[in-house]
Structure formats: structure tokens, C-alpha cells
A and B are shown apart, each in its own frame.
Chain A
Amino acid sequence: MNTLTDLAIPITMGIMLGGLYALVALGLSIVFGVMRLINVAHGDLVLLGSYLAFSIMTYLGLDPILSLVIGIPGLFFIGFFMQKYLLNRAFTISMEAPLIIAFGISIVLQNLFQIVWTPLSRGLTTSYTLKSFVMGDLHLPLVYLLDFFVGIIVMISLHQFLHKTYLGKAIVAASQDRGAAQLMGINTKQVYAFAFAIAMVFAAIAGVFLGLTFPFTPQSGVSFLIIAFGVVVLGGLGSVTGTFIGGLVMGLAQTLGGYFLGTSAQMLIAYLIVIILLATRPQGLFGR
């Protein structure tokens, strides 16, 4: 084998992982784009999706992907009511209040994970976890292929939703000018609740596919959040296309970093890119 085919594996895996990372970041990006809130609990909410799938799989014997029929509506309602009864009120107090609430939610969830699921490392192990697929000369894990396609399907659906439906357009409008949106008859508080709920749907999906790809512990939310931050810093907050490209860059940086520097330093290049970009283009690669 020559170096070129050697490199083909981390590059292909990086791109596929990128689809998943974009998915992890999407909820964070929406909540910031619409509410201007940096949701520091996002990683833990994604992890809640992983743990829910774990329990449904363990106790009901349902495949993690199928468990989303429970996980998606579950997180949708958690998100809707969290925004409606907690965050919408906090927004009327000050700009910092919702951020503090988000920190609170993060701590509550981390402790909840410890109590309910213990500090043990868990994983969503299924019959297809260890399966691989063949692409040319390459043997690649099947879950990575799933990660990539789910990432793409979700991005396309979100794009269609934001441009084709009244609710989607209202979310975009409220993110561009809240006052004007109100004057056009949009109930912005309700739209915020829906935006948060939709972000949570993406968190549920991301949680399941992360759980299929990597093992997780009650502290994993922090690393999910860091990945999501990296993606949105690269892609610009609130842009669907940017988020996807940001995901690809983070995925590639991780797999190529692992290839050249070893697994323990695999995130080093990813965060060097983030730091350099923040210093030179704080609005992100595609930011306005």
C-alpha cells in the first residue's frame, strides 16, 4: 500500500464524520441564530438523546435508530416547554439570565446521567455496529456511512423547512429582525419555542448516531459541545450550509490529525484551525 491509499481512509472517514458533526452542531447553530443564546447545555441535551436511546434499546429491545420515534417527540416537547416556560421568561429579565439557566440545565442533566445511568461508559451496540462496507479498496465502518447520510438528509430537510413552510420562514424572519417579525403578525415567543424544539429534534438524532459511533459517559456532553462550538465557529452561527462545511472541516481535521499525530492528539489540529480562524475571521468562513 502506498501513502495515497493510506490517506484515503482518514479522508473518507473524516468527511463521513463531518456529516455527524454538522448534525451535532445544528441545534446549537439554530438556537444561537434565532434566540442569540449560546446554549451551553446543548452537548448534554445531545447526550440525553444518546441515553434515551440506550434505555429504550436495553428495556424495550428497540433498535437505537427506531427508538427515535420516541426520542424525537420526547426531546421536541422538552425543548418546546423549556423555551416557553423557562427561557422566554428569562429573556425578559436580562441577556445573561438565559445563559445562566442553560448552565443550570447542563449541571442538572450531568448529575441526572450519573444517577440514572451510572458513570460507566456506555455505547449503542447493535448488530451492525462492527459491520463494514467496501468502497474501492477501502473497508470502512458502516455507521460512518450512516452518519454521513443522516447528516445530509437532515440538512436538506432543514433547508426545505426554513424556505418552504410558514413556520420555517417565520423562524428565519425572527432571527433577522425580531421587531419587524412581530409587526408582521408573528408570535415570536411561540416561534422561539418551536425553534428550540426543532433544535432538540436534531439533538435527539445526533445523540443516537454519536452513540452508535463512539462510547459515551455522563461527561461526554462537554466534548459534544466543544465539537459543536468548533463547527459553528468554522461555519458561522445560524447558517445551514456553513454548518455542514464546518462539520466536514472538523471531521477531516480529527481523522487526519489522528493519522499524523496519533489518536491522543487527534483534536489538536481541529482546534488549531478554530483558534486561527477566530483570530482572523471571527464571523466564520461563511458568516455575514
Chain B
Amino acid sequence: MPKKELIRVSNIDVFYGGLQALWDVSLTVRTGEIVGIIGTNGAGKSTLLKGISGIIHPQKGTIEFDGHDITNREPFEIVEMGVCQVPEAGRLFPAMTVLENLDIGSYNRNARSKRNQNLKEVFEHFPILEARKNQLAKTFSGGERQMLAIGRGLMSNPKVMLFDEISLGLSPIVTKELYRVLREIRARGITAIIVEQNVRRSLKEADRAYIIEAGRIVLSGETKDLREEEKIRKAYFGA
């Protein structure tokens, strides 16, 4: 069973483009867990991930990772510590090859020595990446791009991965495949936060979830309980 707290976000206020995007948000992620963040467009899900990754620093509150205060750390330092984000739409380097994209994943100093081992594992998860390793990333389809983005994230030798909308705009078959790999990744001991617009999918894959509305956490708990929760059913399933 998951025990140790790996990420602890305490009462953060985050401003984005001059407007407040998060109000007094708190969240914890324990080792080995998959935690879902559920909310509508513009609710602040991505802002929360940007805060953890150090892209935006909160005005108030703290963020800790593995016992260290990372509230005001730079993004590259946070990656080095083992927190890696797979950003929305993949954000690949389009004019670089598959292999070069993966190498960029292993840029941080703690990942370089493990580059070959991690590359082997990425190719085991996604054989298609090995078959097409010299192809430019921009020639990939949406689903392949997500696979490469996840592979690139794995190359950073992460303890925690933050997935921002990995299945957005993808077919059910591709989505299923991506989540199969997510379970494999979890089996390797990597903790994950998943941000999903697909509530059913989130509640199915995650152990616990936080519901975020207009920048505030309005509900949280074990997903098995949340599935029964009246409020969610009303807001997201319309029943």
C-alpha cells in the first residue's frame, strides 16, 4: 500500500497572466499512487501542474517534493530531482528526430548515466519508437506523438510523472493503449498525477482524485468513493 508522501502542495495561490488561477490549493501524492485531477477547461488543472514543475511560482503557500521545499526552484532543478511533466499535446521538438527527442529527455545530470538503460525500457514500452527512431517528430500522428512524449519523459529518470491531458483528441483505441503503458510505468514504481478531461477514465485509472472548480479544490478522495458521489455524477455525467 502507498505510504510515504512524495508531493505535498500546501495552500498555494497562483497567478497566471495577472489573474488569480488557484486559490488555497492543497494536495498530496504518496509514493506509488496515481492521483487524478479532474475539472473543466480553465479550472486550473494545468496551472497546478505548471506550479509543481516550477514554470510558475505561487504567490502564497509551499510545494514540497520528497521532503524538500521546491516552491521557488527552477524547472530544470525540479526535473533533476525526479519530477517530470509530459505537457499537453506532447510539446515535442518537431524538427528533431525521435532519438534526439529522447536524448533531450535524458539531459538532466541524474539521467545521463542511465540513458542506455532507460532507452531500452522506453523501446520496450513503445516498440514503434525504436522502429522509427531516425524519423522527424513532426511526421508523427497524434497518438505517436503522445507515445514519444511519454518516452521522452521516461528518459528523464523520473520518480513522479505529471501527465497533462494525455488522451485529449485521441481515438479510444490509442487512449486505451496509452493507459496500458501507464499501468506498466506504474508497475515500475513511478508515481503519477494525471490531468484528464475524461472523468470516467480518470476515476477508473487513478487511486485518488481531486476535483478542481474555478481554481479551488472542491472535492477529493478515493476514486472508488468518488464514483458514487452524487455531485460528480451531476456535474460530469449529467445524471
Contact = CB atoms under 8 A, between A and B. Distances in A.
A136 interface: no
A187 B78 CA distance: 11
26 contacts: A163-B100, A166-B103, A169-B96, A169-B103, A169-B107, A170-B104, A172-B96, A172-B100, A173-B93, A173-B104, A176-B94, A176-B96, A177-B93, A177-B94, A179-B55, A181-B93, A183-B84, A184-B105, A184-B108, A184-B156, A185-B75, A185-B80, A185-B84, A185-B107, A185-B108, A185-B156
Contacts of B112: 166
A98 B93 CA distance: 25
Contacts, number: 70
Contacts of B107: 166, 169-170, 184-186
Contact of A187 (B74, B85, B87): B74
A194 to B, nearest CB: 13
B152 interface: yes
Contact of B55 (A166, A176, A183, A185): A183
A177 B95 CA distance: 10
Tell me the interface secondary structure of chain A in the complex: helix
Interface string A261-288: 0000000000000000000000000001
Complex A-B, nearest 7 residue pairs according to Cβ-Cβ distance, in ascending order: A185-B79, A185-B108, A180-B91, A182-B75, A187-B76, A176-B93, A173-B104
Contacts of B80: 185
Interface in A161-207: 163, 166, 169-170, 172-173, 176-177, 179-188
B92 A184 contact: no
B202 interface: no
Interface string A238-277: 0000000000000000000000000000000000000000
A179 B91 contact: yes
A182 B93 contact: no
Given A172-B96, A173-B93, A176-B95, A182 B152 contact: no
Interface of A: 163, 166, 169-170, 172-173, 176-177, 179-188, 288
Contacts of A184: 79, 84, 104-105, 107-108, 152, 156
A179 B104 CA distance: 13
Interface in B37-69: 53, 55
Contacts of A188: 76
Contacts of B93: 172-173, 176-177, 180-181
B199 interface: no
B93 to A, nearest CB: 5
Interface string B87-129: 1000111111000100111011001100000000000000000
A169 B94 contact: no
B91 A183 contact: yes
A184 B101 CA distance: 10
Contacts of B91: 177, 179-180, 183
Nearest to B85: A183
Contacts of B94: 176-177
Contacts of B104: 169-170, 173, 181, 184, 186
Contacts of A173: 93, 96, 104
A183 B87 contact: yes
A135 to B, nearest CB: 38
Given A184-B79, A184-B108, A187-B74, 16 more contacts: A169-B96, A169-B103, A169-B104, A172-B95, A172-B100, A176-B93, A179-B87, A182-B76, A183-B85, A183-B91, A184-B84, A184-B152, A184-B156, A185-B108, A186-B76, A187-B76
